[in-house]
């Protein structure tokens, strides 16, 4: 079997086009575009790349961007003050504080300071609690993007066996909650899981969010499984350069799976699309309007 390659770029482009149409409509009705504030603290090169692409995508969707780039000497109090200002700014519908933050700043405290109505990353405990209890809130972008790809691939997920590898608050846990919300039978595996290969072998759906290059092997998979690879790992190549690989050994997995996301070009583009989606939804809710249709 050679798996279908799930085209995250194309799926993301479709979401972004819908968001752009909805943003234009919002602007016409309210006299302003939905606004996203991004906050980058320090010089981490990967974080800078992520924030740049989020800012670019915001503009392309016809939304207003407010970029804040702070030195890594910024104190926690200064960052909290900025968050308060953004909370109070009516032009700002979404606030994204890029993680990781420098070590001297408590990221939990910063996340908790964001107005949950503007928490477009979905990391605030209020939004995590809403997701866990099945209430409407804002859902973390990466797992939300994974769910979008899975539903496009499989339709109804009800009754499917799903294994999520990784239990972070950013990916693994919210992913498991989303799958549970779709009535899948969900197993969360993690660094202490015994015989992971055996756990994965029962899964119709595998979501790998670990951060270990090509850890999930082809012979771990049930034939016909759908595999979503969240991992982004930079590995050195023979010519002294480097390349990106996921948490799944793509070539061997593609021999067994029915469908699989590539890295890059799978989950990554969906994360940004869902951030734009969350921002336009937050704008509607803050304006007292019904959630836009089609997202
Ligand atoms: P994390 O380090 O917070 O969590 C990793 C999880 O993997 C932990 O819960 C840990 O228990 C589990 N784990 C570690 N070793 C394991 C092992 N040997 N077997 C089973 N489980 C193991 O990471 P994260 O923030 O959840 O990110 C995971 C990966 O996803 C990283 O590669 C990250 O770069 C990537 N990521 C991608 C996107 C995207 O947009 N595509 C977004 C966020 C994260």
The total of other beta-carbon atoms located within 10 Å of residue 80's CB is 16
Q: Output the CA 167–ligand 1 centroid distance in Å.
A: 8
Q: Is residue 211 part of a domain?
A: yes
CATH number of the domain that residue 57 is part of: 3.40.50.10860
What is the structure's pLDDT at 275? Answer: 98
Q: Which residue minimizes the CA distance to atom 15 of ligand 1?
A: 191
Q: Which two tokens stand for residue 99?
A: 């993680």
Residues 6+ apart with CB under 8 A from 164: 172, 175, 176, 179, 186, 187, 188, 189, 207, 209
Q: Which residue minimizes the CA distance to atom 41 of ligand 1?
A: 268
Q: Output the CA 264–ligand 1 centroid distance in Å.
A: 16
What is the structure's pLDDT at 287? Answer: 98
Q: Which residue minimizes the CA distance to atom 22 of ligand 1?
A: 191
Indicate whether 129 and 239 sit together in one domain: no
What is the structure's pLDDT at 33? Answer: 98
pTM: 0.98
Q: Output the CA 227–ligand 1 centroid distance in Å.
A: 15
Indicate whether 146 and 98 sit together in one domain: no
Q: Which residue minimizes the CA distance to atom 4 of ligand 1?
A: 168
Indicate whether 148 and 262 sit together in one domain: yes
Average pLDDT over residues 228-257: 97
Domain count, the chain: 2
Residues 6+ apart with CB under 8 A from 102: 41, 42, 72, 74
* Residue 253 structural domain: 141-269
Q: Is residue 197 part of a domain?
A: yes
Q: Output the CA 211–ligand 1 centroid distance in Å.
A: 4
Q: What is the pLDDT of residues 90-143, one digit of tens each?
A: 999 999 999 999 999 999 999 999 999 999 999 999 999 999 999 999 999 999
Residues lining ligand 1, judged by CB closer than 6 Å? 142, 165-168, 170-172, 189-191, 193, 196, 209-212, 230-233, 267-268, 271
Average pLDDT over residues 226-248: 97
Q: Is residue 76 part of a domain?
A: yes
Indicate whether 209 and 259 sit together in one domain: yes
Residues with a known catalytic role: 54, 98, 121
What is the structure's pLDDT at 197? Answer: 98
Ligand 1: atom nearest CA of 215 is 18
From 267, 258, 255, 254, select the one nearest 226 (Cα to Cα).
258
What is the structure's pLDDT at 1? Answer: 72
Mean pLDDT, rounded, of the chain: 97
Q: Which two tokens stand for residue 209?
A: 């969010």
Q: What is the pLDDT of residues 40-76, one digit of tens each?
A: 999 999 999 999 999 999 999 999 999 999 999 999 9
| pLDDT of 186 higher than 80 | yes
Average pLDDT over residues 154-175: 98
């Amino acid at each position: 079997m050679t798996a279908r390659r799930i085209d995250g770029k194309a799926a993301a482009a479709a979401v972004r086009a819908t968001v752009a149409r909805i943003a234009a409509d919002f602007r016409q009705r309210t006299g302003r575009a939905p606004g996203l504030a991004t906050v980058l603290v320090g010089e981490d090169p990967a974080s800078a790349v992520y924030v740049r692409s989020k800012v670019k995508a915001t503009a392309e969707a016809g939304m207003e961007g407010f970029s804040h780039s702070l030195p890594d000497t910024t104190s926690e109090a200064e960052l909290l003050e900025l968050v308060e200002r953004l909370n109070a700014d009516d032009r700002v519908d979404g606030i994204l504080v890029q993680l990781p933050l420098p070590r001297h700043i408590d990221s939990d405290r910063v996340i908790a300071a964001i107005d949950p109505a503007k928490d477009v990353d979905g990391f605030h405990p209020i939004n995590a609690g809403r997701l866990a209890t099945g209430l409407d809130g804002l859902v973390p972008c990466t797992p939300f993007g994974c769910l979008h790809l899975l539903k496009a691939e499989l339709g109804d997920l009800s009754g499917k066996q799903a294994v999520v590898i990784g239990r972070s608050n950013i990916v693994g846990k919210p992913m498991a909650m989303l799958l549970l919300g779709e009535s899948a039978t969900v197993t969360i595996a993690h660094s202490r899981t015994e015989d992971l290969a055996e756990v994965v072998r029962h899964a119709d759906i595998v979501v790998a969010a670990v951060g270990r290059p090509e850890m999930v092997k082809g012979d771990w998979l049930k034939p016909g499984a759908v595999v979503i690879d969240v991992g982004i790992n930079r590995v050195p190549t023979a010519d002294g350069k480097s390349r990106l690989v996921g948490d799944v050994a793509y070539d061997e997995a593609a021999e067994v799976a029915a469908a699989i996301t590539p890295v890059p070009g799978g989950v990554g583009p969906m994360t940004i699309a869902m951030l734009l989606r969350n921002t336009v939804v937050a704008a509607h809710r803050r304006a007292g309007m019904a959630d836009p249709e089609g997202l």
